[in-house]
């Protein structure tokens, strides 16, 4: 994995106060259609919708956050449960959060490019809804350890094992209520320059942004995080 030179850019608005939803010249009515051309797949917006260069989607109650509640830096990962490199990177980020004890929090966002990725993303959201945040992260750990075994039944069995009511889980899966959220995450990641997974954005509490792609080594990622933290001094 080649190294990138870390740089810090500023958002023009405060990411903690402004709604950072994708900027659209129109209203997102239906779920975006995913092309399935590997990690370079693109998301097509609904007809009549124009994507404009956007800022990082603001941290909100919709997000799944691992780590401190008031970090100096949010590590936002745009990821795919069926992406092999994302599986390798998953443990790296866990180590990173532990290393920067109290300074960095991890935000997981969905960009399901691979076949079966969206199904896993929806399952994770339903498990979080029915069981809670700890179950979401436990599910994520298990998914990345069992990528070759994933199936509709595997997700259902995992939901039950984590404490979800089977009938409520089935209703959630079939409802489609997380389609827009997943599309929003994916389109935001692409609008920020992400062309594959994992795509990573470091967002400081002062609005600084550091972006980099790929499953970088722990030591490489520390360079990016240190640059983000140093920008706050």
Which of 46-55, 118-127, 189-198, 200-209 shows the lowest mean pLDDT across its residues? 46-55
Nearest residue to 75 via CA among 87, 92, 88, 61: 92
Confidence of residue 7 (pLDDT cuts 50, 70, 90): low
Residue 209 CA to residue 9 CA, distance in Å, equals 5
**What is the overall mean pLDDT for the chain?**
83
pTM of the entire predicted model: 0.79
Give the residue-averaged pLDDT of 201-225. 95
Q: Where are the domains of the chain?
A: 9-230
Rounding to the nearest 10 degrees, give the CA dihedral for residues 50, 54, 58, 63. 60
Tally of CB atoms within 10 A around 163: 13
Tally of CB atoms within 10 A around 116: 16
Tokens 């750990």 sit on residue: 141
pLDDT tens track for 92-115? 999 999 999 999 999 999 999 999
Backbone angles phi, psi at 138, to 5 degrees: -65, -40
Residue 104 CA to residue 73 CA, distance in Å, equals 5
Confidence of residue 55 (pLDDT cuts 50, 70, 90): confident
Residue 74 CA to residue 132 CA, distance in Å, equals 21
| pLDDT given at position 233 | 85
Q: Hey, what CATH class is 9-230 in?
A: alpha beta
Asked whether residue 47 carries a pLDDT value surpassing 70, the answer given is no
């Amino acid at each position: 994995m080649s190294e990138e030179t870390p740089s810090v850019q500023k958002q023009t608005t405060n990411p903690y106060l402004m709604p950072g939803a994708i900027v659209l010249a129109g209203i997102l009515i239906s779920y975006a259609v995913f092309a399935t051309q590997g990690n370079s797949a693109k998301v097509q917006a609904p007809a009549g919708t124009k994507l404009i260069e956007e800022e990082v989607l603001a941290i909100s109650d919709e997000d799944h956050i691992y780590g401190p509640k008031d970090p100096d830096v949010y590590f936002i990962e745009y990821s795919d449960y069926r992406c092999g490199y994302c599986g390798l990177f998953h443990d790296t980020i866990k180590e990173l959060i532990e290393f920067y004890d109290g300074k960095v929090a991890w935000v997981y966002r969905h960009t399901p490019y691979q076949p079966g990725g969206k199904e896993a993303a929806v399952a994770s959201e339903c498990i979080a809804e029915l069981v809670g945040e700890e179950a979401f992260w436990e599910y994520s750990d298990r998914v990345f350890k069992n990528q070759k075994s994933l199936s509709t039944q595997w997700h259902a069995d995992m939901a039950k094992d984590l404490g979800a009511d089977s009938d409520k889980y089935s209703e959630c899966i079939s409802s489609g209520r997380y389609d827009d959220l997943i599309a929003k995450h994916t389109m935001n990641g692409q609008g920020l320059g992400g062309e594959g997974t994992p795509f990573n954005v470091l967002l400081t509490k002062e609005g600084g942004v550091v972006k980099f792609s790929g499953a970088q080594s722990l030591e490489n990622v520390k360079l990016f995080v240190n640059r983000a933290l140093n920008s706050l001094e």
